[in-house]
Amino acid sequence: MNLITQGIYSFLSVVGFSVLFNLPRKLILAASISGMIGWVVYITFQLLGTNFIIPAFAGSIAVGLVGEILAVVKKHPATLFTIPGIIPFVPGYGIYYTMLHIVEKDFNRALTTGAESIFIAISIACGIVLATSFIRIVRPNIEKIFKIV
Amino acid sequence: MEIAQIRRIIRICTRTGKIMLQNGAETYRVEDTVQRMAESKGLMAVNVFVIPTGIMFSAEHGIETITVLERVNPEGIDLESIDRANEFSRKFTLTDMSIEAAESNLDALLSTPQFSKKIRILASGMGGGFFVLMFGGTFIEFILAYIASSMTVYITDTIDSKHLNFFIRNIIGGFTSMLIAVLSVTLVRAIGFDATLTMVIVGPLMTLVPGVSLTNGIRDLISGELLAGSAKIMEALFIAIALAFGVGMVLQFSLKLL
């Protein structure tokens, strides 16, 4: 039940951010679904009790895969689906908190949150690059499948 | 082909790259697009070097080397423009488009349709508001975050139309988002409901924080674009510093209030 509500929230949130990023209207639904899948994967891994890197890594692999497949199907660049898709777990809030701790002269917490957000960003980037490279290898097969369907 | 025509073709290539880069496309995509466009028109030894603030282009035509430098000012993320520029470049590469037609197509790219102001403001509320719910906020906190996010985007959009420097823009953005959040939380508490400030502020800040530029910067670093990646990470860092400045100003006064 929790997963379903979380999925709905993330879907609507990504719809909002898609409009802010001026995504073409007909692609908003697809991008939001990719964001929702990413967030549900993220939450699932978080519930399993892994450390803070694995959920973001798994989520971004999901977003990357869905984005690349949508790019093949809809014939638009994959960025259009991955940028709104990674929004839910992007560490923007973390880097903001890092700066705030520095302003408040709390350097220990600044270091912790700063390192954490950089590692989350690295894992998201790794996940997306991994998914992209994987799809590039299997792309001919996907196109074949969708031609049949 | 004449040299004057070659120059016009190169202009078309670099301007397409500029549009993509300005609206937040990845470095490798811009380099790839410009290179393919130039090579499809028979230019030799094409080299494209892209950093977030500029495009350097050089190509050989006969015995001459032509170099073009295009200065770029990033303007945030606009995916519709990237999509259209991408489509244009594909058409330009695959078909025998005349130079005049390409130039008029390129001019059309400069005015892509935008969502109306009302929809943008409503959507930004949605983006920020549901983000609060994702992090376990209550319904009241959702409504406060919705209002605060909408107001923040309204104000930053107004600043953007005045073309202020990005640092000042983010200081003002952070300041207003925190001010609205503090005021609304105090108001709600006075009525008798409960809301926590740290939860409400998540929403409006999500519309401002540079998470996407940080991630894109690291993605550039991973794929070997060391200069472009470092530049994007620095940009993200300075946006975060500006936000902390703006938010910090309000926090100093509000700590006694809450």
- How does pLDDT run across B82-104, given as a tens digit for each residue? 999 999 999 888 888 788 888 88
* Minimal Cβ distance to B222: which of A9, A93, A125: A125
- Chain A nearest-CA distance from B258, in A, is 17
Q: Which residues of B touch A98 (CB under 8 A)?
A: 240
Among residues of chain B, what percentage have pLDDT more than 90? Answer: 20
Domain-ending residue, one of B54, B75, B109: B109
Is B44 in the same domain as B153? Answer: no
- Per-residue pLDDT tens over the stretch A52-78: 889 999 999 999 999 988 888 888 888
**Structural domain that includes position B91:** 3-109
Domain-ending residue, one of B64, B91, B109: B109
Core vs surface per residue A47-64: b (16+ CB within 10 A) or e: eeeeeeeebbbbbbbbbb
Is B158 in the same domain as B189? Answer: yes
- Tell me how many residue pairs between chain A and chain B have CB atoms under 8 A apart: 157
Is B123 in the same domain as B249? Answer: yes
CA–centroid distance for B86 within its chain: 17
State ipTM. Answer: 0.87
Is B128 in the same domain as B242? Answer: yes
Write out the H or E segment, with its range, that includes residue A52.
none
Q: Which residues of A touch B114 (CB under 8 A)?
A: 22
Domain-ending residue, one of B92, B109, B126: B109
Instruction: Using CA atoms of B115, B116, B121, B123 in order, give the dihedral in degrees to the nearest 10.
Output: -40
pTM score of the predicted model: 0.88
- The answer to whether the Cβ–Cβ distance between B80 and A24 falls below 8 Å is yes
Is B124 in the same domain as B244? Answer: yes
Is B105 in the same domain as B138? Answer: no
pLDDT at B257: 60
* pLDDT classification of B171: cutoffs 50, 70, 90: very high
Beta bridge partners of B54: B51, B71
Provide the number of structural domains found in chain B: 2
Beta bridge partners of B68: B57
- Chain B nearest-CA distance from A141, in A, is 23
CA-to-CA separations, A132 to A60, A125, A143, B140, B141, in angstroms, rounded: 11, 11, 15, 40, 37
Is B163 in the same domain as B229? Answer: yes
Is B122 in the same domain as B227? Answer: yes
CA–centroid distance for B204 within its chain: 17
Q: From its phi and psi, is residue B88 left (phi > 0), alpha (psi between -120 and 50) or beta?
A: alpha
pLDDT at B258: 58
pLDDT at B58: 92
